[in-house]
C-alpha cells in the first residue's frame, strides 16, 4: 500500500493541468509544477512516478470533467432535445471565450501532439469522446422513439464533432458571433423529432 500523500492532490492536479494546457507537455517540467504548488519534486515523483505519470493523472481528470460537463449541460437544459443541444453548443462557445489566449481543449491538443508518443493519451481521449457521445445520446433518446439506436448514436457523435470543431475554430480566434452562427445551423439541421 502506498504512502498517504501529504499535499492537496486536487490543487496539485489543477496547477499541473493549467501548466500543461497553457505551455504544452514538452515545455512543462515537474519543477514547474513544484514551483507553482510548493509541493517538492520528490513528493511529486513519489506520487506519480514521472512527468508522464503526472500528466496522465491531470489529463484523465480533465477529460472526466469534460465528459461530465457535456452530460450535465444536456441533462439540465429544459425543453426539447434541440434546446438541449443548443444549450450545450452555447456553453462550449462561452467556455472557449473564457480561455486565456484561446488555448483550445487540453484533450484535443494532447491527441494532436502526444497520442503517437504516449498511447494512453489516445485511450483516455477515445474513452472520453465515447462518454461525451453517450451523454448526448442519453438526452436525445426520450425524443427519439421513432428512430434506431444507431441513428441516435451517429447524431450524438456528429454533435460532439461539431462541439470539438467549435473549440478548434475558437483557437483560431474565430469570433463568438461566427461560432454561434455555426452552432445555430447545426441545431437547425437536427431532425424534426428533436423538437420533442
Signed CA dihedral, 189, 77, 93, 120: sign only: negative
State the cell numbers at 184: 445555430
What pLDDT, on the 0 to 100 scale, is given for residue 4?
Answer: 52
**pLDDT-above-70 percentage for the chain:** 97
What pLDDT, on the 0 to 100 scale, is given for residue 73?
Answer: 97
Residue 22's alpha-carbon distances to 13, 30, 37, 59, 105, in angstroms, are: 14, 15, 16, 13, 10
- Residue 24: pLDDT band (50, 70, 90) is very high
What pLDDT, on the 0 to 100 scale, is given for residue 7?
Answer: 86
Homologous superfamily of 61-195: Tetracycline Repressor, domain 2 (1.10.357.10)
Highest mean pLDDT among 42-56, 97-111, 139-153: 42-56
What pLDDT, on the 0 to 100 scale, is given for residue 32?
Answer: 97
pLDDT at 94 over 60: yes
What pLDDT, on the 0 to 100 scale, is given for residue 18?
Answer: 95
Average of per-residue pLDDT across 148-157: 95
Average of per-residue pLDDT across 97-106: 85
Taking the CB of residue 195, how many other CB atoms lie within 10 A of it?
A: 12
Q: Mean pLDDT, the chain, as a whole number?
A: 94
With contact defined as beta carbons under 8 Å apart, do 34 and 44 qualify? Answer: yes
Three-class DSSP category at 32: helix
Average of per-residue pLDDT across 30-37: 97
Whole-angstrom Cα distance, residue 119 to residue 62? 17
With contact defined as beta carbons under 8 Å apart, do 89 and 183 qualify? Answer: yes
What pLDDT, on the 0 to 100 scale, is given for residue 6?
Answer: 77
Whole-angstrom Cα distance, residue 98 to residue 92? 10
What pLDDT, on the 0 to 100 scale, is given for residue 171?
Answer: 92
Amino acid at each position: 500500500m502506498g504512502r498517504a500523500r501529504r499535499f492537496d492532490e486536487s490543487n496539485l492536479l489543477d496547477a499541473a493541468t493549467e501548466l500543461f494546457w497553457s505551455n504544452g507537455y514538452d515545455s512543462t517540467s515537474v519543477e514547474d509544477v513544484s514551483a507553482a504548488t510548493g509541493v517538492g519534486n520528490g513528493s511529486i515523483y513519489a506520487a506519480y512516478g514521472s512527468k508522464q505519470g503526472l500528466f496522465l493523472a491531470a489529463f484523465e481528470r480533465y477529460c472526466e470533467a469534460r465528459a461530465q460537463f457535456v452530460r450535465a449541460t444536456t441533462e439540465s437544459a429544459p425543453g426539447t432535445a434541440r434546446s438541449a443541444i443548443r444549450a450545450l453548443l452555447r456553453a462550449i462557445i462561452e467556455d472557449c471565450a473564457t480561455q486565456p489566449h484561446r488555448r483550445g481543449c487540453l484533450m484535443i491538443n494532447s491527441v494532436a501532439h502526444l497520442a503517437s508518443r504516449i498511447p494512453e493519451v489516445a485511450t483516455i481521449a477515445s474513452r472520453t469522446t465515447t462518454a461525451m457521445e453517450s451523454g448526448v445520446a442519453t438526452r436525445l433518446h426520450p425524443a427519439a422513439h421513432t428512430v434506431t439506436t444507431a441513428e441516435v448514436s451517429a447524431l450524438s457523435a456528429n454533435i460532439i464533432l461539431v462541439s470539438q470543431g467549435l473549440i478548434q475554430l475558437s483557437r483560431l480566434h474565430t469570433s463568438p458571433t461566427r461560432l454561434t452562427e455555426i452552432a445555430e445551423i447545426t441545431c437547425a439541421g437536427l431532425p424534426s423529432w428533436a423538437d420533442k
